[in-house]
Structure 1
Amino acid sequence: MTTLSPSISFSNRSRWTRFIAVAGPGLVVMLADTDAGSVITAAQSGAQWGYQLLLLQLILAPILFVVQELTVRLGIVSGKGHGDLIQQHFGRGWALVSVGTLVIACIGALLSELSGLAGVGLLFGIPAQVTMAIVVSGLIIMAFTGSYLSVERIAMCVGAFELVFLIVAWYAKPELSSMVSGSLSIPWREPKYLYLVAANIGAVIMPWMVFYQQSAVVEKKLTIDDLPAARWDTAVGSVITQVIMAAVLIATAATLGKSNSGAALDTVQQIAQAITPFLGEETGKILFALGMVGSALVATIVVTLTAARSLGEVLGVKHSLDLEPKDAPWFYGIFTTSLVIGGLFVASGVNLVSLSVGVQVMNALLLPIVLGFLYLLARRLPEAYRLKGPYAIVVALVILFSAGFGVFAGLSGAV
């Protein structure tokens, strides 16, 4: 059986210093995980079911860590991206299938994020065309003039705006007793409740997260010595993203959950308009706008880079932000083309509602493939880092659980 060979380097840096140097891939991908669609899902959960889906947000944090820790392990030990490893161990055909469907999912996610950003612009009277021109040109300039580290820092700074949702939850003045009693009241027999359970699970584990984080730790040149710090980076990110999801749920549960249960919250505008009477028109609009910009913008960066890197891996062309555009024309070309086409679609005013259903189904079908390969590859690592023993069984159950609910959410959404 073929194994993946580790590359080892040594360092005398303290644990804290090392964590600061290593942190980034996990935090960025987790902040991207709380994207526009996830925020809408959390808002719907709170508005329709109060605090009854709050406990689920906390349970999902360790599940998310279990999945993404495998990507960190694979990337650091092998020094290769996810598409590269699939091609090496399962052949070019499977790599093309996996990466091809991933790219379609990334494009769908990109349209969703850009639509969210356009929605924020409309809150302040800015036409979608103007918002798209600013966002697309800004991200292209960022990629063409920066390095991996500079783009990572920009993504973390932008994503930090999501923490504004904690302030929103505080302003909503939730009652602790209601939060506790509500979170422990679980109507398992209600189909609509179970659908939102599935939707929340599907909103947490995205196929593109696996590809992005594995490629990011490789591009950042992390080594075996960095593995413990990289795991902490992933763990901290897992907690942060679920705390943000919980904050959005709490904000809507404490407001709409009391006065207008079952309100439709399908767009950025609807969420902002629904909560502004409770938080104050200007305060509510500004805070939610900041949070949505952070979530949608960092997700836009991640999904676009994921598509460009993954295609670069299977095509065998250079795919690094540390290279000049002339040295990696395919990588920068895919990145630019994706953003421009996505921006034109959103600016044109095309109705993307039906597309979002197709993207949900695509993500659902892709999740078992991505998680399946993730598990099989982790079983081929060298003995010291291989997924084995009781923990391998736990991971297998987590993957089956996550993939199963992902498929359920996707097929339910298509009906």
Structure 2
Amino acid sequence: MTETVQPAAPNAPDAVKQPRRPKLIEVLGPGLITGASDDDPSGIATYSQVGAQFGYQIGWTMLFSYPLMCAIQEISARIGRVTGRGIAGVLRIHYPAPVLYGLVALLVVANTINIGADLGAMAAALQLLIGGPALVYVLLFGVVSVLLEVLVRYSRYVSVLKWLTVSLFAYVGVAFVVHVPWLTVAHALVLPEIKYDATYLTGIVAVLGTTISPYLFFWQAEEEVEDVKERTGARPLERAPEQAEAEFRRIRTDTYVGMALSNIVALFIIITTAATLNQSGVTDIQTSAQAAEALRPIAGPFVFMIFAAGIIGTGMLALPVLAGSAAYALGETLGWHVGLARKPGRARGFYGVIAAATLVGAALNFTPIDPIKALFWSAVINGIVAVPIMIMMMLLASRADIMGRFALPPLLKGVGWLATLVMGLAAVGMLATMG
């Protein structure tokens, strides 16, 4: 006789609906956008320069920096998710005001210069593609970026930024169009020929300073705060510790994927420029647009177009991160209402800083200031200011009176301090090689 299985009653335990596990695209957010924005036009210029100059022999830095990036960005995200405040907001409460003001001022200046350099690179790339006046394109990109941040609702804007990360895959595709000796690449990644001369060490410092930048710390922490405000039922973990396990798992996945995307794309830019420019004897590359133009006669018009178009896409992704992180830091320092989820009328100062940083950056392209030197000094400032900010982040994220039971676990703390030490040594190396 066949046993008849009765359907479970609606209130029976077996009928309880299990919570749906979020899909990867739903988990990815602040970490993905942060990692992708790291490959801005300025970063593309750095990776192109070291690829053209040193060939495949500096690609190992992408493998080396990956765990360091993951650790420091995860720590940034934890600070925002646990406390419900950004890094500047927490520092304002627990550290002397003059120190905070000095660091935030350096961050705002560096970000503004970086915005100007990125706008100039985007305009130069568009000019290469369609011709026309580059300075008009500078203003166009700047205005569009500001309007998107001010007028588009935060949740929709984040979706736009997520889709912009797709533009980064252009650089992965380019490497498979040109001829690349993959065995040579693999050997250089595992057993690189490290040179102990000033030029090579400066290249390493430049790569580290590009991949681990202060604006990324502030942005990811603040986007976790925004996420708490926007997501139904989400609260800072200090007030809702029961959410911690799921949230830390989400943060870790988001951050590791975002940083992996960042470093994979950077590695492929190095590989592409090494396989084309370096092999053809073109070793002096200063800007991303110059790299694109140099690729045209060597790799063909298709590779040139993809490379140039990618500069524009990554620039549109990086501009709001640069301007937004400056606005978050300054706004929290001065006690303003901050947040892209707020309406403009409720956060005038915050949106004013976004507009001012973008427009001042655009204006730099109309001055006699050499954009290449401006970009260099921006990297110098970022490399130097990253160290004290990382030290303060490590200290506050380890304090039980700030993070409660969610102070850093030993492994994450150890890798975080290692990243801080490496950046400190990089800053010393940068200063030592500047002469």
TM-score relative to the length of structure 1: 0.91
Structure 1 equivalent of residue 356 of structure 2: 337
Find out whether 1:227 has 2:248 as its counterpart. Answer: yes
* Pair 90,134 (structure 1): closer, same or farther in 2 beyond 3 Å: same
- Give the distance between the partners of 1:54 and 1:327, measured in 2 at CA: 46
CA RMSD of aligned residues (A): 2.0
1:217 and 2:224 aligned? yes
**Structure 2 partner of 1:166:** 172
The alignment of Structure 1 onto Structure 2 pairs a total of residues equal to 401
1:187 is aligned to 194
Q: Which position in structure 2 is the counterpart of 1:97?
A: 102
Post-superposition CA distance 1:248-275 (Å, at most 9, x none): 01111111222215x2110233211221
Kindly state the Cα deviation for residue 131 of structure 1 after the two structures are TM-superposed.
Answer: 0.6
Go from structure 1 to structure 2 and tell me whether the alpha carbon gap of 1:322 and 1:189 turns closer, same or farther (over 3 Å shift).
closer
Secondary structure of 1:266's counterpart equals coil
**1:362/1:410 contact within 8 Å kept:** no
**Residue 376 to residue 107, structure 1, CA distance change in 2 (3 Å):** same
- Answer yes or no: is the 8 Å Cα contact 1:368–1:403 preserved in 2: yes
Give the one of 325, 330, 338 matched to 1:306.
325
Tell me if the contact between 2:383 and 2:423 (Cα under 8 Å) persists in the aligned partners.
no
Report the equivalent of 1:243: 264
For 1:90 and 1:302, how far apart are their aligned partners in 2?
A: 25
Q: Equivalents in 2 of 1:181, 1:355: separation in Å?
A: 36
Which residue in 1 is equivalent to 2:410? 389
Supply the distance in 2 between the matched residues of 1:202 and 1:147 (Cα, whole angstroms): 32
Q: Which residue of 2 is the match for residue 7 of structure 1?
A: none
Gaps in structure 1 of 5+ consecutive residues: 1-10
- Separation in structure 1 between the aligned mates of residue 263 and residue 113 of structure 2, nearest angstrom: 23
Q: Which residue of 1 aligns with 2:386?
A: 367
Moved more, 311-320 or 242-251: 311-320
Corresponding residue number in structure 2 for 1:85: 90
Distance 1:353 1:41 in 2: 11
| CA distance in 2 between partners of 1:188 and 1:360 (Å) | 22
C-alpha contact (below 8 Å) 1:159/1:297 kept by paired residues: no
SS at match of 1:384: helix
Which of 149, 159, 162 is the matching residue for 1:156?
Answer: 162
Are the equivalent residues in 2 in contact too, given 1:199–1:406 (CA < 8 A)?
A: no
Cα distance, 1:391 vs structure 2: 4.4
TM-score when normalising by structure 2 = 0.87
Percent of paired sites with the same residue: 25
* Deviation larger for 306-315 or 92-101: 92-101
Deviation at 1:395, TM superposition (A): 2.4
Q: Partners in 1 of 2:322 and 2:376 — Cα distance? A: 18
Deviation at 1:134, TM superposition (A): 1.8
Residue 110 of structure 1 corresponds to 115
Residues 153 and 214 of structure 1: CA distance in aligned 2, closer, same or farther (over 3 Å): same
Match of 1:3 in 2: none
Aligned equivalents of 1:21, 1:290: Cα separation in 2: 27
Measured after TM superposition, the shift of residue 202 of structure 1 is 1.1
**Counterparts of 1:231 and 1:410, CA distance in 2:** 33
Greater C-alpha radius of gyration: 2
Equivalent in the alignment of 1:8? none
Q: How does 1:5-404 map to 2 (within 5 A)?
A: 13-17=19-23, 19-123=24-128, 124-183=130-189, 184-221=191-228, 223=235, 224=244, 225-260=246-281, 263-281=283-301, 283-347=302-366, 350-381=369-400, 382=403, 384-389=405-410, 391-404=412-425
